Amino acid sequence: MKVLLSILTAFVLIFFLTASPVAADYQTAYTDYVFAQSLYRTSYSEYQSAKSTFLTYRTLASQNEAIAKLKKVLQDRNQVVFTYYDLMYEKLQMSEGVAPEFKTTFANIRTSEQKWLTDHQKKIDAAATLNDLNNVSSEFESRYRQMSSETGQAFGAILIAKETLLNERTNSLANNLSQTIATISASGEDVSTYQRNLITARNKLTLYDEKMVQVKSALTKPIGQPVELFRGQQLIAEANQYLRDTVNSMLEIVNLITR
């Protein structure tokens, strides 16, 4: 019995030690973010309705309703951004290839922005008039430009890291292939076709590098400037095609060698 218990305990310990806490944290952050978004969508719809009623009838009852709905939607909007910082932080932690310095910097930014959002939440809770709520909302609007830029950069860093990893693997295999061709050449075989094809493949990698410069320009902006997310995604897709072409060319060479 004791033996069985000890084996079971060992299995449980191994399970908890090997399970990825980062992935679990990411899933939790994502669930929280989705929930916050759904709350925001509901309260935004109610806010629009209350605003319309108040601007139409301008009664005391409709004004009180408008204040309540405005306060609720501002709180929920705050919460969406708060949870989005958590989500981006967790995603960065689990993303391979992102520089540790960038992760540390973003962690500090997240702490700072979440502190601002907590203070902002207090201001929303304290505001009791439409005018005060409007002022609090304007504060958020001016702050959100910076927040959008920060989270956009994190998003871009994740995409760039993915593509960079693929590029490193491609370069590594290109070097392996080059060495293999050199070995074949040493054995006395004609390798001129392989070498010519390898040069073509490497030329594609040069085009990839040029495209990645454009990607970095679109996704990496000074804080406060908006990140060109959509353009960056398109450019990465184009760069990825060059990687695909390079790998295909290398596969053709290997097929020629083994034929």
Partner 1 sequence: MAEETPINTNPVPATQPEVPPVPPTPAATTANTTNTPTAPETQPVVPIDQVPMAKSHSFRTILLIAMAVVVVFLALVYLLLMLFARPKATPPPPKVEVPPVVVELPVATESSKFATDSAILKLKSDLQTLGTAIDTVDFFETQILPPSIDTKIEIRP
Contacts of 150 (CB under 8 A, 6+ apart): 106, 109, 113, 223
| Touching partner 1, residues 158-187 (CB under 8 A) | 158-159, 162-163, 166, 169-170, 173, 176-177, 180, 184
Looking at the Cβ atoms of 109 and 236, the one nearer to partner 1 is 236
Looking at the Cβ atoms of 6 and 224, the one nearer to partner 1 is 224
x/- mask, partner 1, residues 124-163, rule CB under 8 A, reads ------x--xx--xx-xx--x---x--xx--x--xx--xx
Interface residues with partner 1 (CB under 8 A)? 30, 33, 37, 40, 44, 47, 51, 54-55, 58, 63, 66, 70, 73-74, 77, 80-81, 84, 87-88, 91, 130, 133-134, 137-138, 140-141, 144, 148, 151-152, 155, 158-159, 162-163, 166, 169-170, 173, 176-177, 180, 184, 229, 233, 236-237, 240, 243-244, 247-248, 250-251, 254-255, 257-259
